[in-house]
Chain A
Amino acid sequence: MIRIRLFWLLLIIGFAHGALGNGFNFYRYSLEEGLPQNYVYTLVQDSNSYLWIGTGEGLARFDGSRIELFTKDDGLADNFVTASYRDSRGRVWFGHFDGTISCEEGGSFVTFRVDSIPLSRINVIYEDRDQRLWFVTQNSGLICFHQESRQMELLYDGLQDYLIYGMVQHPKGHFLLATNEGLVKMNDPVQSSLEISEPLSDFPTVKIKQLREKADRSGFYIGTEFFGFFSCSYSSNSAGITKDLNVKMENRLSSNTVETIFEDRDGLIWIGTDNGRLHLLNPSSYEGVVQHIDVSMLEGKPIRTVFQDRENNMWLGTYGGGLYLLKDKLFSIYSEWQGLPSNNVLSILIGKKGNYWIGTEGGLTIMDFTENATTTLTTADGLPGNEVTALFEDQNGTIWGGTARNGLFMVQLLDGEPRISFPPDALTYESINSIAQDQQGQVIVGTVSSGLYLLRPDVRKVENFTLTNGLSHNDVRQVFVDSKDRLWLATHGGPINMYANREIHYFGVESEVEGFNFNAFAEDLKGNVWVGSYGSGVYCYDGDKFKLFDRSSGLLSDYVYSISCDTKGNVWVGTKLGLSKIEALTEKVVNYPAAEHFESAEINLNAASADPNGDLWFGSNQGVVRFLSNSQEFNTVPPKINISSFRINGEEHPISGVKELPYGNYTIDLDYVAISLTNPEKVVYQYQLEGYENEWSNITFERGVRYSSLEDGTYTFKLRAANADGIFTPKPTVLRFNIAVPLWQTWWFRIFAIVVFGGILYGFIQIRISIYKRRQAELQHLVNERTSELQREKEKVENQNTIISSYYQDITSSISYAKRIQDSVIPPQRILEQALPEQSFMLWKPRDIVSGDFPWFNHSEDQTLVVAADCTGHGVPGAFMSLIGHNGLLQAVRQQHLTSPGAILDSLNHSVTHTLLSEENGQQMRDGMDLAMCAIRREEKVLEFAGANNPLYILRRNLASSELGSHPNIKCFEEHLGEIKGDKRPIGNYPGETQTSFTNHVIPFQPGDRFYIFSDGYADQFGGPKGKKFMYKQFKRLLISIFELPMAEQRKILNQTIMDWQGQQEQVDDILIIGFAP
């Protein structure tokens, strides 16, 4: 029998809450993940939750997913970082290999260098009770940083002989230094001159490689070279120190040289030794042995530093192996390393008395918590075989064990001492799979190849049931008695067997159980029986029907090796790939793959049990896999948000403060990260830009957002994040920025604009008014000038008018006088009236005062001459011409006594031609006259006519049909008017022109005939509605219409007609019409 101190019971008793144990997974960060070097000297987490990793080739900052490197180029004093510390003010300090110091503050580094001596590397940074920072150099003394003055003070003299690895301050004010010579005492060198004691004799005078103050500052821990670990308290004794604990190899510390000490928040001490091993110690329940942490994953790399982050994750910085994160705390593995006889655990039983029975390939281990001891039984102690495949506790508290090839045995604990016995029939050569007991006390044993045994030890009776008795198969993997005293048998081959009330029931295809091979049973808190199959998943039997859970339901595998139920009613399904948990309430399947959680250990057949704490224990090929039910499955620490980049139109801007931007159109880019080192990949984000959007965004994994086309407004960017367990940051992180409103939208600008506009308008108006006034004045001046000018002109015109009027009056007087002359010269109309009383009329309408048209009469006994002459021109010229014509006519008639009109006209022509000839220039005036002359010889009843250009109209009823009308010289117009044209020549020819005689027409007339001679003034008068000439045609028709009227009436009509026609028009020529009836 092997009895050892039950060191790992500490796990269950002392560490149950902390859930620390062996075999946890580590996640490694190394060069491949971006570390600058695999030598990690120091770890520290800043207030923003960034994890700073000091290495020999740079300082790395880790946000859970990205490692950012900082070097001298980024402001560090040196690339080689050997120590770090976050002080009480939140600043992070870094000590370097060359003795320089960097401080990260506000996103940049401040460096310090003491140049008085060549410095060695800084081993530790310590903040004393007065908040002074001490930088402990290896062999260059101490550097004290005074926070207020920000001055570095080097303390070297007296310390140069020591290698210093750490320091703490005693409550009394002095310091303790860990040196290569041991622990020495140093007074406060700032208060007085430095004094160093001899190495304290209570401690080994060896190299003290670690000196860590306890978290509550009640003492310190020491790691020595060759003398193990010490825990000390400050005391009031003369030495001021009490040694509480010394842990060495005798206490299963793997080496007496301690390299690393770290106290976590649970008060557990992590101890790293020079051989690369890691140990755990709980000082409050220390029983003389330490727990080993399996760091085989670290491949023997020495652990340089241990660190616990704000989420309680444990980090290991190694020397050459990089950085390791303790991945989870849900599972632990106990194996040979902790004292099991074999890693292959075949059966587990949690006894009613609290004993843990572990059946392995190398024997049976019994853990007795009350005695705090463990015992391993093997064949040497009387076991029939070392491969313990089945364990069961009967109603009497006796433990039944089954072996792989050597049958049954029983163990009873008498005063804590195991006593092995055997049942009456120990089935000595059987290979036992499973053991159970029904309510009648029968022990039921399932075997590998011999079917089922029913044992009644009290009556020494054994019954065997095999295929021949109705068993489905002789390989009975598990026997199970449920709370209803039903016996369930899992066999390989055939349906599920159940015995109840001495009857066997089969559950196969007809019960919708497709499986053919079964391995395991369990009963949940509701009384449902769960059946694990080999290849078909798990069936849940509620007493009525079976419900299947398989891979399609989410199980890791359909090949089930064990089923167990925890205290919450969850069902745990053990497979080679890991564990699947079917949750009691939701039937949701949660998987725990072995590769991720327990080092790919393979769960063994029916080696599973739940302890009173709710923890589950599974036997595997690598030891006992323990599920820690009270472990902190949920990370309640919200992530820490950091906005890493704030870019405005692509340009980086500081994040602090409120950014005021001038008006414009902006694109805002924000990059951020919420740090949750526990599970950084599962961190999610929500954001909102107040002023732009009214609601939070959807949940996203993205670590950046862009807002485009932002214009004036007040914006507040709010960001929140949740860790992998959905715990959100309590308050969103806020970043504010304002984009100014455009100038023209500000109230003051509007007022200003109104004022300015009003001013401009007023000014404009004033200017306009001024301009108008000036213009008006100018105009007035101009008007005055013009008026004056007009006045002058008026006066001038008036003067001229006066002159003209005078002239006019003179001329008019002259012309009037000339008219008198003309009137006196031209024979009066009474001559014609005398010759033809009431048989004639004359319409003479001179255009001016004197007339160019003139009548001429001469009455003799034989004949009466009637002339209608139209001199060239009118007015005064015509009047002068009329006088010439009058004289010519008088000369022809009275001097030459001519009577024939033709002859008279010849004479007149001759007279006028010669009268108008100018001797002075040899040219003759082209003036003359047109005229028609009639000689009426009433006696002969003939009328002679001669005309110069002017015709004679003869009006007679039906003239055209009369003989006269057919005369060749008479051209009839319509029926009643006949026209005899005058010769086509005027009176007054040019010299040299052919001088022919005027034609003398002789026309016999009848009573009632009317004759008309006239000038062209009547027919040429403009007027009428269209302003046209009256024309001869209309004149003829007018005469036709009136020729039979009395002569006076005719004159009146003719006069009225031409006046009507003329209207407002001016008279264009002199008018002369003479009508007569011979």
Chain B
Amino acid sequence: MKFTLRPYLSPLLALCVALVSIESLWGQMVPSRGENIEYLVTFGNQAPKGWGDDDYTQVFFFLVPKNVREAVYIRVYDPDVGGDIDQQNQGWNTRMKYSVYGGRGTHSDPDARKVDPVGNYRSGILLDSKTFGSEPDYNKKWYTFGPFNPTEGELDNSLGGYIFKLIIQGTSGNDGNLYKLFLSTDMEENRRVEGGNGFTYEYSFRLSKTGVAAQLYPYIDQEVIALKQNNFDFDNDGYIKLYSVNKNGHLMTTSNDNQWTQSSHKVSPGERGKSMNIQIIKTKNFDNDMVLYVTNQYDQPVPFFAVPIGGRPHYNYGRTKITPNPR
């Protein structure tokens, strides 16, 4: 019996739309449910890098659509370094500083878009800051920064909204801080900002359980013709594959413990203006924290969006390319 895809196209399309809708509902949770990443991770600056954090700093940007007038909050789940979730390295001795930035330069400053915390990466106006140590009050609890007037962010018309920046930095100690973020309209609950999004240029995160693929969504703009994937301290824990409309699981190189590795991949025209999907499939049964970023042909970092722009990419399984008839 010959298999044909046609009868299944409509249900598949509906499923895709539904998935996109679901993804939008995940919005502002970082990492999002669609990323299958358990926690972001940042270590104290005295921790060995081989534990999975190359620079003890995580920088995340939050996009608030221009039309949003209500106040927004940036919430951090389990912000302290201690308790049930975080990675202890001997005793709890780590202090973790959270800083929220807005205003001019927050994202537009070139240093803000680098993968390493160098130069004026704390650009913008500091809106709020708080440092946590091991504080049981915040174990598995949310801490809320804000409220923030959306206009306190930096207006980026190309992205269509105001951008806030959250820098999480381990200022002392050697423990690992595992946490989540949420862009909310409520101080006490996670209420998503309609159309809001979160993005970063370097992901430091803890991989999910064995067999679950963590998924990152770099956005490939029209200028990208090639990209370079860099990962750190993957411990060769499995596979890293690249998916797009034209790539169905291109293997990327994987790093070993406390090592950087990189691999280059061409970008076809059809992949531009869309999100790609980097799947990290863990195969070993231990906690693994790693770092990953992607740059374009100019070594400029490519952003990862929590909610993939244009939706999650799906490989084009030989679907007929429809081109218009020549006139």
Contacts and interface: CB of A to CB of B under 8 A. Distances in A.
Interface string A487-503: 00000000000000000
Given A56-B151, A319-B149, A138 B69 contact: no
Interface in B140-154: 147, 149, 151-152
Interface string A301-333: 110000000000000000110000000000000
A979 interface: no
A37 B149 CA distance: 10
B267 interface: no
A80 B147 contact: no
Contact of B128 (A57, A80, A163, A275): A163
Contact of B104 (A98, A163, A302): A98
Contact of B151 (A37, A98, A139, A163): A37
A274 B187 contact: yes
B25 interface: no
Interface string B102-131: 011100000000000000000101111110
Contact of A98 (B125, B130, B188): B125
Contact of B103 (A37, A98, A302, A320): A98
A97 B129 contact: no
B147 A120 contact: no
B130 A207 contact: yes
Interface string B140-174: 00000001010110000000000000000000000
A1075 to B, nearest CB: 151
Contacts of A274: 187
A39 B103 contact: no
Contact of B71 (A163, A207, A320): A320
- Which size bracket describes the interface of A in this complex? 20 to 34
A97 B147 contact: no
Nearest to A41: B149
Which one of B126, B128, B149, B188 has the highest number of Cβ atoms from chain A below 10 Å of its Cβ? B149
A138 B152 contact: no
A240 B154 CA distance: 43
A38 B69 contact: yes
Interface string A144-186: 0000000000000000000100000000000000001000000
Nearest to A209: B128
Given A138-B125, A163-B128, A320 B152 contact: no
Contacts of A38: 69
A153 B100 CA distance: 27
A56 B152 contact: yes
A37 B187 CA distance: 21
- For A38, A118, A119, A121, the residue with the greatest tally of chain B CB atoms inside 10 Å of its CB is A118
Contacts of A118: 105, 123
A39 B149 contact: yes
B223 interface: no
Contact of B129 (A39, A139, A301): A139
A139 B105 CA distance: 16
Contact of A320 (B70, B125, B128): B70
B125 A97 contact: yes
B104 A39 contact: no
Contacts of B70: 320
Q: Is the interface of A mostly helix, strand, loop or mixed?
A: loop
A56 B125 CA distance: 14
A99 B149 CA distance: 17
B69 A180 contact: no
A915 B152 CA distance: 154
B126 A138 contact: yes
A120 B106 CA distance: 12
Interface residues of B, number: 19
B187 A120 contact: no
A275 B69 CA distance: 19
B71 A302 contact: yes
Interface in A101-156: 118-121, 138-139
Interface in A32-63: 37-39, 56-57
A121 B102 CA distance: 10
Nearest to B102: A97
Contacts of A138: 125-127
Nearest to B70: A320
Contact of A39 (B71, B123, B187): B71
A121 B124 CA distance: 10
Nearest to B123: A118
A320 B147 contact: yes
B71 A319 contact: yes
Given A80-B151, A320-B71, A320-B149, A275 B187 contact: yes
Contacts of B149: 37, 39, 56, 319-320
B151 A39 contact: yes
Contacts of A180: 129-130
B147 A121 contact: no
Contacts of B151: 37, 39, 56-57, 80
Interface in A1049-1072: none
B35 to A, nearest CB: 30
B126 A320 contact: no
Contacts of B123: 118
Contacts of B130: 180, 207
Given A97-B103, A97-B152, A98-B104, A319 B126 contact: no
A59 B71 CA distance: 19
A256 to B, nearest CB: 12
A945 to B, nearest CB: 152
Contacts of B69: 38, 320
B71 A120 contact: no
B129 A302 contact: no
Given A38-B69, A274-B187, A139 B152 contact: no
B126 to A, nearest CB: 4
Contacts of A139: 126, 129
Give the interface centre of A38, A138, A320 by most chain B CB atoms within 10 Å: A320
A119 B188 CA distance: 31
A38 B70 CA distance: 9
A301 B103 CA distance: 22
Interface in A905-942: none
A351 B152 CA distance: 56
A120 B104 contact: no
A833 to B, nearest CB: 159
Q: Which of B123, B125, B128 has the most CB of A within 10 A?
A: B125
Interface string B81-118: 00000000000000000000001110000000000000
B184 to A, nearest CB: 14
A477 B187 CA distance: 50
A302 B147 CA distance: 8
Nearest to A318: B71
A97 B104 CA distance: 10
Interface in B24-77: 69-71
Interface string A265-278: 00000000011000
Contacts of A120: 125-126
A235 to B, nearest CB: 31
Contacts of A319: 71, 147, 149
B293 to A, nearest CB: 26
Nearest to A302: B147
A180 B131 CA distance: 9
B191 to A, nearest CB: 12
Nearest to B72: A320
Contacts of B71: 39, 301-302, 319-320
Given A38-B69, A80-B151, A138-B125, 11 more contacts: A37-B149, A39-B149, A56-B152, A97-B125, A97-B152, A98-B103, A98-B125, A119-B125, A139-B126, A301-B71, A302-B71
13 contacts: A38-B69, A56-B149, A80-B151, A80-B152, A97-B125, A98-B125, A99-B125, A118-B105, A180-B130, A302-B71, A319-B149, A320-B69, A320-B71
Q: What 10 A-B pairs are tightest by C-beta distance, nearest first?
A: A39-B149, A56-B151, A139-B126, A320-B71, A120-B125, A56-B149, A120-B126, A319-B147, A320-B70, A319-B71
Interface of B: 69-71, 103-105, 123, 125-130, 147, 149, 151-152, 187-188
